[in-house]
Amino acid sequence: MRLNTPESAAVRPAIGACDWMPFSDTKAVSSSDKFNMANHDDSYKLLFSHAAMVADLIRGFVHEDWVSGLDLSTLEKVGGHYVSNDLRHRESDMVWRVHWGGERWLYVYLLLEFQSTVDPYMAVRLMTYVGLLYEDLIRQRVLTPSGRLPPILPLVLYNGYSPWGAALDVAELIEELPAGLERYQPRLQYFLLDEGRLAQQDLESRNLAGALFQLERSRSPQEIERVVAALLEWLKGEEELQRAFAVWLVRVLLPARLPGIEIPGLMDLQEIKSMLAERVTEWTRQWEQTGFEKSRKEDLAAVRGVVVQQLEGRFGPLSEGTRKRLEAIGSVEALAKLLAQVPQAPSLAALGLA
Contact of 72 with 98, CB cutoff 8 Å = yes
* Per-residue pLDDT tens over the stretch 153-209: 999 998 877 788 899 999 999 998 888 888 899 999 999 999 888 887 778 789 999
The Cα–Cα gap between 352 and 354 comes to 6
* Per-residue pLDDT tens over the stretch 222-231: 889 999 999 9
251 contact partners, CB below 8 Å, separation of at least 6: 18, 19, 20, 21, 29, 39, 43, 265
Smallest CA-to-CA distance from 299 within 269, 331, 337, 322 is with 331
Does the pLDDT of residue 326 top 80, yes or no?
yes
CA 197 → CA 94, 102, 265, 296, distances in Å?
23, 34, 31, 19
Give the pTM.
0.70
Contact of 127 with 186, CB cutoff 8 Å = yes
| Domain-wise residue ranges, the chain | 37-174+183-197, 218-289, 296-351
The Cα–Cα gap between 318 and 249 comes to 41
Contact of 91 with 97, CB cutoff 8 Å = no
